[in-house]
Chains A and B, each alone.
Chain A
Amino acid sequence: MPKVDINDSKGLYETPGSGLYRNGVEISSTASELDSLYLCADILDISSAANDCFVPCPVDGTLVAAYATNSGGTPGATATFTIQVGGTGTSTLVFASGDVSGTVKSDTTLDMSVTAGQSISLDNDGGASGARRLNVVFVVEHTT
């Protein structure tokens, strides 16, 4: 169980322990976390189905998760958002009528290929009765 330090003074330096270090400081992230980037977007008023959000993806990769949180109050009715890559996708994030501000919905089981230059989006069904806001973070893992 060596502790491996990529050290500018010593080179690849192994000592008892575990973990990956850079110049004596541990890199805590997992491989998938190091491969991940996070793309943020929002919908200012989720009560209209015309209001979707699109964010361009700058790398080739796999969309592995999406997290969203509402604010401004409860949706007032069920609000459904479909996660799409290039306009295609069926997984949804569903907010209930009474979900208070700060409720977080997520899908961490996504496995959707995305190409640099494609858009990742949430297709809003406009189900909310109130002009509430939604912020979303898409998690993309790089592929080579």
Chain B
Amino acid sequence: MPKIDFNDAKGVVSTAGSGWLRNGVEISASAGQLDRYTLTGKITGLNSGGEHVYVPVPATGTLVAVYSSVSGDPGAITLIRVHNAAGSSLGDITIANASSAGDVDMLLALSSAVTAGTYLRAISDNGATNAVDAYITFVIER
């Protein structure tokens, strides 16, 4: 059960324990977490027809999840549809009626290729009756 430290002064140091360290500080992230990055955009006015956000993709990878955080009660069920650059729907995030500010909804287990220099898009179905917003975070694995 060695602990491996990539150490500028000592080189690769193996000692008792476990984990991966860099200059004595543990890198806790897993391989998948190290490969992931996030992009965030905001949809303004979920009650307005076709409100959306486009976010440019800076690194090629696979879209694995999308999260939404709403700014208040939408007043009705609201769907956030996620599209890739080809215009294909990747699924909907459902924001429940009577959601509170900060409630997080998500679309998990996605596996959709994305290419640097293209975009991801999230669009409201205009279900909300209140003028609330949502931040959308896309999780991409390189």
Which A positions have Cβ atoms within 8 angstroms of B? 6, 8-12, 21-23, 25-29, 33-34, 36-38, 40, 42, 44, 65, 67-71, 101-102, 104, 106, 133, 135-137, 139
Give the nearest-CB partner of B55 in chain A: A135
Interface residues on B, range: 35 or more
The residues of A that contact B85 with a CB separation of less than 8 Å are 102
Given A11-B4, A29-B142, A68–B56 Cβ distance below 8 Å?
A: yes
Selected A-B contacts with CB under 8 Å, 10 pairs: A21-B31, A22-B31, A36-B59, A67-B57, A71-B52, A102-B85, A104-B118, A133-B53, A133-B54, A136-B56
Kindly state whether residue B39 has any CB partner on chain A within 8 Å.
yes
Interface of B is mostly: strand
The residues of A that contact B44 with a CB separation of less than 8 Å are 44
Number of A-B contacts (CB under 8 A): 98
- CB distance B1 to A22 under 8 Å? no
Kindly state whether residue B24 has any CB partner on chain A within 8 Å.
no
Given A8-B1, A11-B2, A40-B40, A22–B20 Cβ distance below 8 Å?
A: yes
- CB distance B31 to A26 under 8 Å? yes
- CB distance A29 to B34 under 8 Å? yes
